[in-house]
A = this chain, B = another copy of it.
C-alpha cells in the first residue's frame, strides 16, 4: 500500500513476492498454464491437485504440508498426511510448485512453464518468500563441481535475510 503502481506488470523474470501485483490474474493464468501443461503431457490434473495448486497460489507464501492438509480437508478432500504430500509431490515434480527446504514448506512457482533453477529469498522476520533466478553452473560452485568431477543435476539456493517491508519497519 505504499505505492499506487498496480498497473506495473512485473515481467516473468522479476522476483515475485515483495511487491503488489495482479493476484487474481496470476492465479487464473497459473491454473490455466498448469491445466494446459498437463493436457499436453498426458498428466492428470485431478481435483485434489488443482485445489492444492489453487491454495498455494491464493496464499502466495510458503505453507507447510499440514497446513495444506487442513485446507484440503476443509475443501472436502481426505484428511490424512499422504493426501497433502502426494498432491505437493505432483506439483513439485512438474514444476508448478517448489519446496523451500529451509522452512519445510511449499510455494507456488512464480515462473510456471519456464525452465528455470529457482533461488529464494526468505525473510527471517515475516517468513515471506520471493522467487528469483539463480545461475547454478556459473560461478564458484560450477568451477568447484567441474574440478571435483561432480555432475550437478539440480541446485537449491535459499537466501535468508530481511525483506524490504520488514526493513523499513525497524529501520535498523
Task: Confirm or deny: A161 has a beta carbon within 8 angstroms of a beta carbon on chain B.
Answer: yes
A-B contact pairs, 19 of them (CB 8 A): A101-B102, A101-B158, A119-B141, A119-B144, A121-B141, A121-B148, A121-B150, A130-B148, A132-B140, A134-B140, A135-B140, A145-B159, A150-B162, A151-B162, A152-B160, A152-B161, A155-B158, A156-B158, A157-B157
Interface size on A, residues (CB 8 A): 41
Q: Does A15 sit at the interface, judged by CB under 8 A?
A: yes
- Chain B residue contacts of A154, Cβ below 8 A: 159-161
Whether A130 lies near B102 (C-beta < 8 A) is no
Chain B: which residue is nearest A137 at the CB level?
Answer: B159
Known: A134-B141, A155-B157, A156-B156. 7 other contacts (CB 8 A): A15-B148, A15-B150, A101-B101, A130-B148, A132-B140, A141-B159, A156-B157
Q: A135 to nearest B CB, angstroms? A: 5
Rounded to whole Å, the gap between the CB of A75 and the closest CB of chain B is: 30
Contact among B130, B140, B153 with A133 in the assembled complex (CB-CB below 8 Å): B140
In order of increasing CB-CB distance, the 8 nearest A-B pairs are: A132-B144, A149-B164, A101-B101, A153-B161, A152-B161, A155-B159, A119-B141, A15-B148
Bound form: Cα–Cα A151–B155 in Å: 21
Is A163 an interface position by the 8 A CB rule? yes
